[in-house]
């Protein structure tokens, strides 16, 4: 098999093997699934090593799958998806390792779900065929339902349903949209195909393009999640076990942004530009709203969840700034958010395992008893609030600058979120770590164990590396980003000449900003 397919399906293969493990040998299940994810990670590094810095899709594997329906197995990575793939393979071993003590019930099944989830996520990032993408997209949901529904907290059933409703609505709309596009394309060219790059050339009337874009956008917006479709997220996080939260925040939420980037925007550029003001407005509301609501949370995990709403607002803002600085920043910020929020959930999980509470008021003064924990938490906090020389700053700065270039007001409003970010994070930190210990139960808390340090240290290292040397990553992204912008903008320009789109030209000038 080719490299991409090997990386993608290795976890699935691992899951199948794992199913035949005897149920009693919990330790063996844990170690096995950890090893599988580690091997997948090292294999994925070969992708990075062999990647050429240009705009092309690389490591492409294209073969017919269900030929009669024009469905093919087509995968590949460019400078955008490469790093998201690496984010998946990097996060998985960490998530698996973090669950070693937390998951004691149905251990084997848990790890099967985790491995299936990894394949699904990888598949979604590398798919270049709409049908294949949809299969992986749906395949992601199933293990996630189980992870929250079976290993989650007290209200997990309610939350699983909420999660289910939200994501199902989105998925179904997207499916309708996909089919519509495919059949329109067939009507125009006579070819039935799900190949994404060929479908990029589909010609749709303004009206239908707008409707299909909305279907895709809604599906992805729920996934991001954007205000006001975000309420499933805090609840899902609160109920989810740590490992699932790490994956949910670290990787799954990136699917929304990636969906816009790879599908919704290049497929329907005019509609994307028409919708840009709305999406930017929602992104800006999300940035401020998420931060303000995070500020008043009493549960640390919920606070982190709402901070995600704010951070992902930045990502969406950068994408729709539609200039290379903003889009690059958005992709970089997806990686950052995966690392820092993933790390925050790990840290919250570590303290939850010890105290079985996540309420801020149950802590205080932890620095004295858990100094290493306090240091790690501080570093991740600083990354989350975007301190220079941590990864968070690079992403935030690029997004804000890109947004400001597109429209100064966007940059200004979003920058308020940076101030609020410092407020809610440092206030939380202060209440958890500073002062005297006020609860006797906290007196004898154990500091980080060797395993916990092993879980966190790689993330900490990356936080600094990506903050000090962002350029090796930015450089590899740039050609793909430029191509994306070109596609969205040039396709629109090409079509404008075909008439029928004058109405948008006027409207879109505000949204397009510096693009031209």
Partner 1 sequence: MHEAIWIIPLAPLVGAYINGKLAALYARRGRGPSEKLIAAIGVVAPLVSFVVACSVFLHFRGLEGAERMVIVDLFPWIVSGNLNIGFSLMIDSLSMLMVLVVTGIGTVIHIYSVGYMHGDRGFARYFAYLNLFMFSMLMLVMGKNLLILFVGWEGVGLCSYLLIGFWYKDLANAAAGKKAFIVNRIGDFAFLIGMFVLFVATSRMGEGTLDFVALRAMVSEHPQAFAATATAAGILLFIGACGKSAQIPLFVWLPDAMAGPTPVSALIHAATMVTAGVYMVTRLSFLYLQSDVAMAVVATVGAFTALFAATIGICQRDIKKVLAYSTISQLGYMFAALGVGAFSAGIFHLMTHAFFKACLFLGSGSVIHAMSGEQDMFKMGALGKKMKITALTFIIAAVAIAGVPPLAGFFSKDEILLYTFTSHLQPLGMVLWGLLFIGAGITAFYVFRAVFLTFFGERRYTDEVAHHVHESPLSMTIPLILLAVGSIFAGFLGVPGVLGGSNHLHHYLEPSIGLLAAHGDDVSHAVAAGHASQSAEVTLMVLSVLAGLLGIFVAYILYIRRPDRPAQLTMKLGRLYHLVYNKYFVDEAYDAMIVKPGYLISNRFLFNLVDVKIIDSIVNTIGVGTRLMGSLFRLLQTGVVRTYAFFFLIGILYVIYKMVG
Footprint (CB under 8 A) of partner 1, residues 114-153: 116, 135, 139, 142, 146, 149-150
For residue 394, state whether it binds partner 1 (rule: CB under 8 A). Answer: yes
> 16 or 461: whose CB is closer to partner 1?
16
Q: Which residues of 187-210 are buried (b: 16+ CB within 10 A; e: fewer)?
A: eeeeeebbbbeebeebebeeeebb
Chosen residue from 21, 51, 164, 180 binding partner 1 by CB under 8 A: 164
Nearest one of 375, 373, 392, 356 to 464, comparing CA atoms: 392
Chosen residue from 62, 299, 362, 478 binding partner 1 by CB under 8 A: 478
Count of residues in contact with partner 1, rule CB under 8 A: 85
The least distance separating partner 1 from the CB of residue 16, rounded to whole angstroms, comes to 7
> Of the listed pieces 33-41, 449-457, 472-480, 498-506, which binds partner 1 according to CB under 8 A?
472-480
Dihedrals φ, ψ of 61, to 5°?
-125, 120
Specify burial of residue 454 (Cβ count, 10 A radius: 0-12, 13-18, 19+).
Answer: middle
* Contacts (CB under 8 A) with partner 1, residues 72-91: 73
The least distance separating partner 1 from the CB of residue 203, rounded to whole angstroms, comes to 30
Chosen residue from 102, 175, 423, 445 binding partner 1 by CB under 8 A: 423
For residue 172, state whether it binds partner 1 (rule: CB under 8 A). Answer: no
Element (H, E) at 282: helix 269-295
Site string for partner 1, 16-35 (x = CB under 8 A): x--x----------------
Q: What is the DSSP string of 388-438?
A: TTSHHHHHHHHHHHHHHHH-HHHHHHHHHHHHHHHHHHHHHHHHHHSS---
> Of the listed pieces 40-48, 92-100, 385-393, 488-496, which binds partner 1 according to CB under 8 A?
385-393
For residue 510, state whether it binds partner 1 (rule: CB under 8 A). Answer: no
Length of the chain: 516
131 with 178: CB under 8 angstroms?
yes
> 188 or 430: whose CB is closer to partner 1?
430
281 with 104: CB under 8 angstroms?
no
Which residue(s) pair with 359 in the sheet? 299
Which residue(s) pair with 61 in the sheet? 75
* Contacts (CB under 8 A) with partner 1, residues 177-216: none
> 106 or 198: whose CB is closer to partner 1?
106
* Contacts (CB under 8 A) with partner 1, residues 336-375: 365, 367-368, 371-372, 375
How far is 121 from 133, CA to CA, in rounded Å? 10
Chosen residue from 244, 325, 334, 347 binding partner 1 by CB under 8 A: 325
């Amino acid at each position: 098999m080719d490299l991409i397919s090997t990386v993608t399906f290795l976890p699935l293969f691992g899951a199948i093997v794992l199913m035949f493990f005897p149920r009693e040998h919990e330790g063996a299940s844990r170690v096995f699934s950890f090893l599988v994810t580690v091997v997948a990670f090292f294999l994925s590094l070969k992708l990075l090593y062999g990647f050429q810095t240009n705009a092309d899709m690389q490591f492409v594997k294209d073969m017919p799958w269900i030929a009669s329906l024009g469905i093919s197995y087509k995968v590949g990575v460019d400078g955008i998806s490469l790093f998201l793939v690496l984010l998946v393979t990097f996060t998985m071993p960490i998530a698996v390792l973090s669950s070693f003590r937390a998951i004691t019930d149905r251990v084997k099944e848990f790890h099967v779900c985790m491995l299936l989830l990894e394949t699904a996520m990888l598949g979604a990032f590398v798919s270049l065929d709409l049908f294949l993408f949809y299969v992986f997209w749906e395949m992601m949901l199933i293990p996630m339902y189980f992870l929250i529904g079976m290993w989650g907290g007290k209200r997990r059933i309610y939350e699983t349903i909420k999660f289910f409703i939200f994501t199902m609505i989105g998925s179904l709309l997207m499916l309708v949209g996909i089919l519509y596009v495919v059949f329109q394309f067939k009507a125009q060219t006579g070819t039935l195909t799900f190949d994404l790059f060929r479908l990029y050339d589909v010609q749709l009337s303004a009206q239908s393009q707008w409707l299909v874009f909305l279907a895709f956008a809604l599906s992805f917006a729920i996934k991001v999640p954007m205000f006001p479709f975000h309420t499933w997220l805090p609840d899902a996080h609160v109920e989810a076990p740590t490992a699932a939260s790490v994956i949910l925040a670290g990787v799954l939420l990136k699917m929304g942004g990636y969906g816009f980037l790879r599908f919704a925007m290049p497929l329907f550029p005019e509609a994307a530009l028409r919708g840009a003001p709305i999406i930017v407005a929602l992104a800006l509301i999300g940035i401020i709203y998420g931060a303000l609501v995070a500020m008043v949370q009493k549960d640390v995990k919920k606070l982190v969840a709402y901070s995600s709403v704010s951070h992902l607002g930045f990502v969406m803002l950068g994408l729709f700034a539609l200039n290379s600085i903003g889009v690059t920043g958005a992709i970089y910020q997806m990686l950052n958010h995966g690392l820092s929020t993933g790390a925050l959930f790990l840290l919250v999980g570590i303290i939850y395992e010890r105290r079985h509470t996540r309420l801020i008021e149950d802590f205080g003064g932890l620095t004295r008893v858990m100094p290493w924990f306090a240091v790690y938490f501080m570093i991740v906090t600083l990354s989350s609030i975007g301190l220079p020389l941590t990864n968070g700053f690079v992403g935030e700065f690029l997004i804000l600058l890109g947004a400001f270039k597109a429209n100064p007001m966007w940059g200004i409003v979003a920058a308020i979120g940076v101030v609020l970010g410092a407020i809610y994070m440092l206030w939380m930190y202060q209440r958890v770590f500073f002062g005297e210990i006020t609860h006797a139960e906290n007196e004898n808390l154990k500091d980080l164990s060797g395993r916990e340090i092993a879980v966190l240290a790689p993330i900490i290292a990356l936080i600094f590396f990506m903050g000090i040397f962002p350029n090796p990553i930015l450089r590899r992204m740039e050609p793909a980003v430029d191509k994306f912008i070109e596609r969205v903008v040039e396709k629109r320009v090409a079509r404008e000449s075909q008439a029928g789109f004058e109405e948008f030209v006027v409207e879109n000038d505000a949204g397009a900003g510096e693009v031209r």
